[in-house]
Amino acid sequence: MPKVALDRKVPDFALPAAGAPQAWSLKAAAGRKLVIFFYPKDMTSGCTLEARGFRDHAAAFRRAGAAIVGISRDSVASHEKFTL
């Protein structure tokens, strides 16, 4: 198994966000604990199960002080439908 450097910083990035008036950026979340999950497509069975798992455990993540961020290549309009 390849070694992963855990001390490397992730470069800042910003993405349009569903339900938000402005883009979400990593810089704006600096200092916060984050759970970032990447998924291939909105409204597919596997991705829906994955997202539901995070939703079902959202309270535990909040108690741990972590925000959950899901990222895919789909459009903001698609994300808006997926979150409903």
47 part of the active site: yes
Scanning the structure block, which residue is given the tokens 């069975």? 45
List 47, 51, 70, 82, catalytic entry: 47
Q: Report how far residue 51's alpha carbon sits from residue 54's, in angstroms, rounded to the nearest whole number.
A: 5
Catalytic residues, by residue number, are: 47
